[in-house]
Structure 1
Amino acid sequence: MSLPATESVPIGKPSFQHALEAARAAAGGQHYPSGALYVVATPIGNLADITLRALHVLLMVDAIACEDTRHTQHLLRAVGIQRSGSELIALHEHNEIEAAQAVIARLQEGQRVAYVSDAGTPAVSDPGARLVAAVHAAGLRAIPLPGASSVTCALSAAGITGDPGFVFTGFLPSKQGERMSAVAELAREPRAVVLLEAPHRIAALADALATLEERLVTVGRELTKQFEQIATMACAALPAWLAADPQRLRGEFALVLHPHEAGAAPSDDDRVLRLLMAELPLKTAVKLTAEITGQARNALYERALKQRDG
């Protein structure tokens, strides 16, 4: 489906007028199947990162399912697209299963529906995965529109060399014990690890990662935004780096834990035990180490006593 003629395209923000016209010219002649879900990536901070195909699809579809209707309406108006409230469907982590059925009903009628999260690529860390799975289960199509992603953005700026493999972990648990257990597992992971964190929890995450000592971490704060910061340092230095400037505690964070350096062996059981003992009571550290490593708890307890006393 093509967009309407240029003069009828709803343009509410002059700075995006040419972008909407370019979207019609570049993407309007492509094939857009009916009865399909369009999974649309949206900017993670900089509005100019929206793609021409995303603009075209957000104008074209019959409805837009979104993580937050108010946030999406603000985004649409910022790029010059006017959609009525009745054309927006709230679909977030608390109602995704139920709302997915409403989307599927529209698709079965032959409608085209887009799905957007608040920022970035849906179904990676944000909601959307259950929706896509339900669409596939119903025998319908889900069509991805690639674009901004904090995961790939952080990786591209981290300067990871050698083995290109990485693990996307996202948000670690909020409880201290569970978070330290997760960090202990990351200590044994030889590949790069991508983490996400909110401003109110970044200090706690930094303290946990500091137990990894000299392993490098790249911190991406407010990626693509005006006050973007990207810095690489040893994990042990991360708490002090954050504390050095109150502004560094603000904004959304994407972090890349670098792979083990060449020739460095992955952390052994004693290292995991030591990491947990630094933050947790001895018995709790032993219990979690046993669960992570599969080692006998009694033997670990004896080693823990030696580490504490040595």
Structure 2
Amino acid sequence: MHFADVQQGTLYLVATPIGNLGDITLRALHTLRNVDVIFCEDTRVSNHLLKVYGIQASLHAYHDHSNASERHHILKRLKEGQSVALLSDAGTPLISDPGYKVVVDCYEENIPVTLVPGACALIHGLVISGLPPDQFYFGGFLPLKDKDRREKLRMLSCLPASLIFYETGPKLLKTLLDLNEFFEDRLLAVTRELTKKFEAVHRGKVSELLTHYTQKGPPKGELVLVLQGQTGSQEHPPLNRDLCKKMLEKMSVKDTADILSHLFGQSKNSIYQDLLKIKNED
């Protein structure tokens, strides 16, 4: 099988397995064998993957705590004509993982960026959840602060799309308590051990799963939660006045209503009337 040559001065975002090492793609292996240098979230994790496939490479760490000087080091190598691969510990880079700022810096410097696609936990969880995959919203990890987390869930409660979140076992019960307040009777799929031998999907109403995990204890490891979106008619949640005022500084009431109506899946007329009230407050 022929693969295109690795291009010099190009940043390659390479997806890696999320559990089953057999899920890495042939193109990913070709890229990792031929780039000049690899930056990864945890050198120990990536070194294990490379050893399994007999790849010897120069590994350097780039993670959440990396600073601007480390990003500049990556750009310096790219400007010198080196080919660079960027990996996360598992899955597709940038999806709730480091790398976004590196990509932005590359575009500002006219450095080519490409993705070598592969496993992605949010897509895997959605596809096996048994919930509608035609429209979905990915919320990553919910905010740690109670007030911020509840505000986000409140705003998402009217979205007519499946909602996807990442969570960890130890924090599941706390998250389920908040979900139960806003989504009590909606279906939820708790997916875990994705691609591994003991991959599992636990489906039920939010209230039912809260009871189950309260009695049995939360599962271990990282989870993908897929929650049923809003169905049927429902009033939109109270609008965030500060956010609406900022939007109205840049857009007309009509355009703002169009955006919020699409976001909430609700009548544009009702939102339009609320926006008029907010606009006229001053």
Normalising by structure 2, we get a TM-score of 0.79
Q: Answer yes or no: is 1:146 the counterpart of 2:117.
A: yes
Structure 1: unaligned runs, 5 residues or longer: 1-25, 271-292, 296-310
User: Alpha carbon RMSD of aligned pairs, Å?
Assistant: 2.3
**Contact 1:189–1:266 (CA under 8 A) maintained in structure 2:** no
Structure 2 CA distance, aligned partners of 1:59 and 1:267? 55
Which position in structure 1 is the counterpart of 2:200?
229
Matches within 5 A, 1:112-191: 112-161=83-132, 164-191=134-161
Matches within 5 A, 1:16-165: 26-27=1-2, 29-83=3-57, 87-161=58-132, 164-165=134-135
Deviation of 1:201 after TM superposition, in Å, equals 1.0
What code does the residue aligned with 1:160 have? L
Computing the radius of gyration from Cα coordinates, the structure with the larger value is: 1
Deviation of 1:242 after TM superposition, in Å, equals 2.1
What code does the residue aligned with 1:55 have? L
Deviation of 1:170 after TM superposition, in Å, equals 0.7
Structure 2 CA distance, aligned partners of 1:243 and 1:78? 39
Structure 1 CA distance, aligned partners of 2:234 and 2:158? 5
Deviation of 1:245 after TM superposition, in Å, equals 3.5
The number of equivalent residue pairs is: 242
**Contact 2:6–2:35 (CA under 8 A) maintained in structure 1:** no
Q: Answer yes or no: is 1:253 the counterpart of 2:223.
A: yes
Matches within 5 A, 1:184-223: 184-211=154-181, 212-223=183-194
Per-residue Cα deviation, 1:174-215 (whole angstroms, up to 9, x for no partner): 222222222212212221111001122111111111121111
**Contact 1:41–1:146 (CA under 8 A) maintained in structure 2:** yes
Per-residue Cα deviation, 1:206-231 (whole angstroms, up to 9, x for no partner): 11111211111111112112221112
**Contact 1:96–1:130 (CA under 8 A) maintained in structure 2:** no
Structure 2 CA distance, aligned partners of 1:31 and 1:64? 17
Q: Percent identity among equivalent residues?
A: 38
Which position in structure 1 is the counterpart of 2:246?
none
**Contact 1:187–1:266 (CA under 8 A) maintained in structure 2:** no
Distance 1:79 1:240, change over 3 A: farther
Deviation of 1:96 after TM superposition, in Å, equals 4.9
**Contact 2:160–2:230 (CA under 8 A) maintained in structure 1:** yes
**Contact 2:131–2:226 (CA under 8 A) maintained in structure 1:** no
Normalising by structure 1, we get a TM-score of 0.72
**Contact 1:96–1:127 (CA under 8 A) maintained in structure 2:** no
Deviation of 1:107 after TM superposition, in Å, equals 1.1
Distance 1:55 1:269, change over 3 A: closer
**Contact 1:63–1:88 (CA under 8 A) maintained in structure 2:** yes
Match of 1:238 among 209, 216, 235: 209
Which position in structure 2 is the counterpart of 1:290?
none
**Contact 2:15–2:91 (CA under 8 A) maintained in structure 1:** yes
- What secondary structure, in the 3-state scheme, does the structure 2 residue paired with 1:30 have? coil
Structure 1 CA distance, aligned partners of 2:197 and 2:235? 38
Structure 2 CA distance, aligned partners of 1:244 and 1:79? 43
What code does the residue aligned with 1:187 have? S
**Contact 1:67–1:116 (CA under 8 A) maintained in structure 2:** yes
- Point out the more displaced range, 140-149 or 209-218: 209-218
Structure 1 CA distance, aligned partners of 2:117 and 2:204? 31
Q: Show structure 1 runs of 4+ deviating over 3 A.
A: 243-246, 266-270
Distance 1:109 1:135, change over 3 A: same
What code does the residue aligned with 2:135 have? G
Structure 1 CA distance, aligned partners of 2:102 and 2:96? 14
Structure 2 CA distance, aligned partners of 1:138 and 1:269? 42
Structure 2 CA distance, aligned partners of 1:121 and 1:223? 14
Deviation of 1:244 after TM superposition, in Å, equals 4.4
Distance 1:37 1:204, change over 3 A: same
